[in-house]
Amino acid sequence: MMCGAPPTKQLAAAEIQAIADKVKSPLEEKENKKFLVFNAVEFKSQGVAGRTFFTKVQMDDDFVHIQVFESLPQENKPVALTSYQIHKGRQDEVTCF
């Protein structure tokens, strides 16, 4: 990953699922519902003073795109849900938003 470079789509693995899991509760609070299914499917990441992840997540019968920021390790801050887009489909491409 190059800093500031356009991100490329990748399949989500355990690290990305762990990041998505950390922002599941804040998203549930914002949407006022609980998600029984919350599986990271694919993602793009971009490095700029930390890492921003744009992740497609399957939630129940729908998909959501989440934007999560992970600060630099020395800042010692938790990952943060910075934005999200609901009512996405399986075929909707994850984009930087």
In a domain, 25, yes or no: yes
Does residue 89 fall inside a structural domain?
no
Tokens of 23: 């922002």
pLDDT over 80 at 14, yes or no: yes
Kindly list the strands in the beta sheet with 39-47, ordered across the sheet, starting from the edge strand earlier in the chain: 10-11, 39-47, 51-59, 62-70, 80-88
Domain count, the chain: 1
Q: Which domain holds residue 27?
A: 7-43
What digits encode the pLDDT tens for the residues 27-85? 999 999 999 999 999 999 888 789 999 999 998 889 999 999 999 989 989 999 999 99
* Predicted local distance difference test score (pLDDT) of residue 10: 78
Please answer whether residues 69 and 84 qualify as being in contact, where contact means their C-beta atoms are separated by less than 8 angstroms.
no
Residue with the two structure tokens 């470079």: 5
Domain membership of residue 13 (yes or no) is yes
Q: What is the pTM of this model?
A: 0.85
Residue 1 has a pLDDT of 45
